[in-house]
């Protein structure tokens, strides 16, 4: 366990020297802002307002208390703070910024098709145990895909297992939405046609983070599912075709939807690939069906189309794509902003195909996983 060996005061920060020889710099404004008393004990929201002190606040006294805590008496506000060394070490931004970032994501390609059992989990295991729920959430967060097996096949029955995570996200498609072949469809999913690999609702400013497709019936000829890890495809471009990658990261594309059942026209700009502050993959925004007429500068239009063309071909390349058939009782679960999904054409006269779909925000998946891991 880390403990504080020595303290050194600087004009803008306090240097903490740890018992293992590591050194941390903690700026005074950061320390005052993160005083343990700054947060309400019940809501855990910060009640202290950093704007109430000046930018020149500093310690008038500082020491290591008898129980090993960092004790600071501040120059303003007649206040003394006590910091647990374990908390300081865990939140030390000096050491965090020295570390090389390691992505938590497990990228995959078509070889996953030979080991589909690795992404499968039994419905009752999730419902009856937190260990099962954690396994499901970890597959969703780190791998981006999971197939729940042996779920009930009654309508709306997936809500029981989804509620183990959190509430679903409502859209104008309703919850659940019915993935069936219907007359005069307002979305290509509600036809028997083949669907290219795509994400759902790219024309939303904040598309749903996760999608769950619950197979109730799948007796029609055709209708096999496909999936591709678009993060893996983006990573391939980053490492092998950097010019194409840079265009996809830096050029906003326009997506649009005009649903005849809605009194709304939804339109948004977004890059095909977006990155986190660490340079990791954050979102993929891709759907040929709802890509609007592009309005890039004419000098770059050809290069944008070539990059988009290359990306699209790789997103359907057999070396990246997996194919499988959903069985009744399967819940195809995936990160909608990472994994693209599609299906082959099916013959509605040869049988019936009925899926129910649900959305959930990414915050619910990650938040629930973080909470459950803290309980271990």
Tell me the domains of the chain and their CATH numbers. 4-98 (3.30.2020.30), 110-374 (3.60.130.10)
Residue 104: the pLDDT is 96
Write out pLDDT tens, residues 221-272.
999 999 999 999 999 999 999 999 999 999 999 999 887 777 788 999 999 9
- Distance (Å, whole) CA 182 – CA 308: 31
Q: What's the whole-number mean pLDDT along residues 307-327?
A: 98
Q: What does DSSP say about strands 70-74 and 80-83: parallel, antiparallel, or unpaired? A: antiparallel
Which residues contact residue 287 at a Cβ distance below 8 angstroms, ignoring those fewer than 6 apart?
Answer: 198, 199, 202, 255
- The structure tokens 């326009």 sit at 254
Report the percent of the chain where pLDDT is more than 70.
Answer: 97
Which H helix or E strand runs over 218? strand 210-218
Q: Is the pLDDT of residue 215 over 50?
A: yes
225 SS3 class: strand
What is the pTM for the complete model shown? 0.91
Distance of CA 260 to the CA centre of its chain: 30
Max mean pLDDT among 162-171, 186-195, 343-352 falls in 162-171
Write out pLDDT tens, residues 128-158.
999 999 999 999 999 999 999 999 999 999 9
On the CB side of 3, CA atoms within 13 Å amount to: 8
Residue 331: the pLDDT is 98
Q: Is the pLDDT of residue 188 over 60?
A: no
CA dihedral over 100, 369, 205, 359, signed as positive or negative: positive
Of 355, 361, 360, 358, residue with least CA distance to 189: 355
Q: How many CB atoms lie within 10 A of CB 63?
A: 13
Q: What's the whole-number mean pLDDT along residues 343-371?
A: 95
On the CB side of 9, CA atoms within 13 Å amount to: 10
Residue-level length of the chain: 376
Write out pLDDT tens, residues 75-134.
999 999 999 999 999 999 999 999 999 999 999 999 999 999 999 999 999 999 999 999
Q: What's the whole-number mean pLDDT along residues 49-65?
A: 95
The region of weakest confidence among 162-176, 186-200, 211-225, 239-253 is 186-200
Write out pLDDT tens, residues 293-304.
999 999 999 999
Residue 180: the pLDDT is 83
41-59 as b/e: b if 16+ CB within 10 A: eeeeeeebeeeebeeebbb
- Distance (Å, whole) CA 264 – CA 121: 39
Residue 128: the pLDDT is 97
DSSP summary character for residue 167? P
Residue 254: the pLDDT is 95
Q: What is the mean pLDDT of the chain?
A: 94
Residue 286: the pLDDT is 96
Of 339, 363, 343, 362, residue with least CA distance to 107: 339
Residue 193: the pLDDT is 81
Q: Is the pLDDT of residue 187 over 60?
A: no
- Distance (Å, whole) CA 180 – CA 216: 11
Q: Is the pLDDT of residue 183 over 80?
A: no
Q: Is 164 within 8 Å of 133 (Cβ atoms)?
A: yes
Of 140, 87, 34, 55, residue with least CA distance to 364: 140
């Amino acid at each position: 366990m880390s403990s504080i060996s020595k303290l050194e005061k600087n004009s803008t920060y306090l240097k903490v020297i740890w018992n293992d020889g590591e050194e941390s710099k903690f700026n005074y404004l950061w320390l005052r802002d993160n005083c343990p008393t700054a947060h309400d004990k019940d809501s855990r929201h910060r009640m202290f307002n950093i704007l109430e002190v000046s930018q020149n606040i500093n310690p008038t006294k500082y020491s290591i208390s008898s129980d090993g805590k960092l004790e600071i008496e501040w120059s303003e506000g007649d206040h003394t703070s006590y910091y647990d060394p374990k908390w300081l070490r865990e939140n030390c931004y000096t050491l965090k910024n020295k570390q090389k970032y390691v992505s938590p994501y497990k990228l995959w390609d078509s070889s996953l098709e030979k080991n589909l059992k690795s992404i499968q989990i039994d419905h009752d295991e999730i419902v009856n145990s937190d260990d099962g729920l954690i396994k499901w959430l970890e597959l969703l967060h780190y791998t981006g895909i999971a197939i729940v097996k042996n779920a009930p096949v009654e309508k709306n029955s997936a809500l029981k297992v989804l509620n183990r995570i959190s509430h679903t996200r409502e859209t104008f498609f309703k919850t659940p939405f019915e993935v069936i072949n219907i007359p005069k469809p307002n979305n290509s999913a509600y036809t028997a046609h083949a669907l290219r690999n795509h994400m759902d609702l790219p024309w939303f400013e904040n598309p749903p983070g996760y999608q769950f497709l619950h197979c109730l019936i799948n007796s029609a000829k055709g209708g096999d599912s496909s999936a591709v890890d678009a993060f893996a495809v983006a990573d391939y471009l980053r490492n092998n075709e950097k010019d194409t990658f840079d265009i996809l990261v830096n050029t906003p594309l326009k997506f649009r939807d005009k649903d005849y059942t809605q009194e709304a026209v939804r339109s948004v700009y977004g890059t095909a690939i977006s990155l986190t502050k660490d340079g990791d993959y954050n979102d993929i925004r891709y759907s040929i069906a709802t890509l609007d007429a592009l309005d890039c500068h004419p000098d770059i239009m050809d290069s944008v189309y070539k990059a988009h063309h290359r990306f699209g071909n790789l997103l359907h390349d057999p070396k990246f794509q997996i194919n499988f058939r959903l069985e009744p009782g399967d819940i195809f679960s995936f990160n909608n902003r990472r994994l693209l999904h599609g299906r082959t054409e099916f013959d509605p006269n040869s049988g019936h195909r009925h899926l129910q779909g649900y959305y959930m925000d990414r915050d619910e998946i990650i938040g629930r996983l973080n909470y459950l891991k803290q309980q271990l």
